[in-house]
Amino acid sequence: MESHILVQIIASFGVAVILGLFVKAYIAVVATPRRLRRLLKQQGIGGPPPANFLLGNVMEMRKQTPTRKTAAAAADPHNFENELHAVFHKWRRQYGDMYTFSLGTKPVLVVNDYDVIRELSASKSLDLGRPLYLSKDFESLLGNGVSASNGKLWAYERKIIAPGLNMNKIQRMRNSIQKSALMLIDSWKSVIDGEGGKADMKVDNFLIKFAGDAISRVCFGSNYAQGELLFQKLQALVQVTATKGFLIGIPGMRHVPTKQNRREWELRREAKELISKLVKEKEEADEEENMLKFILQGAQSGDLSPHEIEDFIIDNCKSILLAGYEPVSIAASWILMLLASNQEWQDRARQEVIQVCKGRVPEFESIRHMKQLTMVIYESLRLYTSAHIASRYSINDLEFGNIRIPKGVIIWVMTTALHTDPDIWGPDSYEFKPERFANGTSGACKLPHLFTPFGFGSRVCLGQNLAMVELKLLFAHILSNFSFSLSPNYVHDPTINLHLKPGNGVDLVIQRFNIPQADVLH
């Protein structure tokens, strides 16, 4: 009799647990997303209804045109955003400058309203954070590092890392960046000389090695060759993560042992082991100041458990390495493509480098005087911003302008669309015209706050100064050593693969450039 009662109690408890889990899942997957969409709709913000309670609008988004193959693309190569983001332009025409859609079960508020973006940019609230999918679905890449964390943890990480990336610290890193740039120059010279003075080259891997070498020296005090296996694992992780696409919004997908997920878990483990090994080596070596020392000091001085200390170090090392090599190498690829396509600006930038350096090797101090080169870089970042979407998350209820954004809503700002909007930049917005930045970023367009190649607000990229120094120094070296044009093998194919990158790489015909003695004396 007693055993029968015990069985009934266990069965009742099991039913209660299952029912509780069902109710919890229903609230998370169905009830909460409906409530959030309703709260936004009450303010006049509509959008496409979810086609499926689990997939949301994902399937329609996956049908958007992935690449440009039309004759119009060749005639107007920089006007590609409408096609890459076709579904978002369709929804904007249908629902207005602010609308919602569902990324799986997650409501996303797309903001194209200039005034609301201004207020988002000005906000310093810790309640305006980064979407949780960055630390969850992209956990293998970012974890809870400074790129993806929120709240007090992010504020603490920023406090630790930001001082290591100010201009005074970057100036001390100049020799490390210089070595990385010279490594690329020497490798190009070797290839060109081996080809008889002119070479048809795909430059992307050279640029990845440059950016990887530079951030390795800055972060660990080591070069790319010492951590090459780690970068290979990180690049593979980026590729695996990129294949998720819009499936990141589907609940539980990251836990399903698919072939892709198993590969991601393996790469994550291998990358963690390699970083741990490199950290241990550098701790024991006690070398010169680098970013790792800031991270280690922050981990030790924070109120963290031993396990949390390890995650803090690993996640922030990955955040810095990933932010430091992929976007920089992509930006350099686009800049080379644009200079190869616009000989006049290549000549103008080169002439400036020659005049500033006066025949000497480009140095950190000299790049501050290269205005033409800075204009070229800004214009390239405007047309081809690798972070094509800026994402935020309402950790608690927020209000911007007359819009109340409830807790739990993801916010997207379509960066590339804003960077090429004719209403902001004028009728020549799709043209490569560096002169628009002659008076700096503040004088480049009607609404300068919409130029956000490094993000916006308090979550702006901490490494933006480092990135600009790397790009200026690299191109000062390239322009003073080489001339280049687009190769017949180059195929213009802007492609979204986490970042906006050249889908087929950048092929250039490169030859040595010898500075005329008259120019040196001048």
Domain count, the chain: 1
Q: Among the listed ranges 332-336, 360-364, 486-490, which one has the minimum average pLDDT value? A: 360-364
**Assigned domain for 354 exists:** yes
Q: What is the pLDDT of residue 143?
A: 87
Mean pLDDT of the chain: 87
Q: What is the pLDDT of residue 245?
A: 65
CATH code of residue 98: 1.10.630.10
Burial class of residue 66, CB neighbours in 10 A (0-12, 13-18, 19+): middle
Residue 481 has pLDDT above 70, yes or no: yes
**Strand stretches in 354-466, DSSP E:** 389-394, 398-400, 403-405, 410-414
**Assigned domain for 13 exists:** no
Residue 185 has pLDDT above 80, yes or no: yes
**Assigned domain for 35 exists:** no
- State the pLDDT confidence band at 71, using cuts at 50, 70 and 90: very low
Q: What is the pLDDT of residue 286?
A: 57
- The three-class DSSP label of residue 203 is coil
* The total number of residues written for the chain in this structure: 522
Q: Among the listed ranges 53-62, 438-447, 497-506, which one has the minimum average pLDDT value? A: 53-62
Task: Provide the domain limits for residue 183.
Answer: 41-521
Q: What is the pLDDT of residue 354?
A: 94
Which percentage of the chain shows pLDDT scores above 90?
A: 54
- State the pLDDT confidence band at 72, using cuts at 50, 70 and 90: very low
pLDDT, tens digit, 9 for 90 and up, residues 422-437: 999 999 999 999 999 9
Within a 10 A sphere around the Cβ of 35, how many other Cβ atoms?
14
Looking at residue 404, the DSSP 8-state letter turns out to be E
> Could you tell me if 508 and 336 are in contact, meaning their C-beta atoms sit under 8 angstroms apart?
yes
Residue 122 has pLDDT above 80, yes or no: yes
Looking at residue 61, the DSSP 8-state letter turns out to be H
**Assigned domain for 36 exists:** no
pLDDT, tens digit, 9 for 90 and up, residues 256-304: 888 888 888 898 999 889 888 888 877 766 556 688 888 888 888 877 8
Q: What is the pLDDT of residue 520?
A: 44
**Assigned domain for 24 exists:** no
Q: What is the pLDDT of residue 18?
A: 75
Q: What is the pLDDT of residue 250?
A: 67
Name the packing angle between helices 464-481 and 371-383 (round to 10°). Answer: 110
**Assigned domain for 27 exists:** no
Residue 32 has pLDDT above 50, yes or no: yes
Q: What is the mean pLDDT of residues 351-356?
A: 95
Q: What is the mean pLDDT of residues 135-161?
A: 89
Residue 208 CA to residue 505 CA, distance in Å, equals 12
Full-model pTM: 0.91
Residue 1 has pLDDT above 60, yes or no: no
Per-position DSSP letters for 129-149, written without gaps between them: E--HHHHTTTTTTTTTSTTT-
Q: For residue 150, give both structure tokens.
A: 């929120």
Residue 521 has pLDDT above 50, yes or no: no
Q: What is the pLDDT of residue 64?
A: 66
Q: Among the listed ranges 183-197, 306-320, 331-345, which one has the minimum average pLDDT value? A: 306-320
Tell me the C-alpha to C-alpha distance, in Å, between residue 10 and each of 22, 84, 312: 18, 55, 42
Number of H helices, E strands in the chain: 23, 12
Cβ neighbours for 118, distance < 8 A, ≥ 6 positions apart: 447, 449
**Assigned domain for 5 exists:** no
Residue 22 has pLDDT above 80, yes or no: no
**Assigned domain for 291 exists:** yes
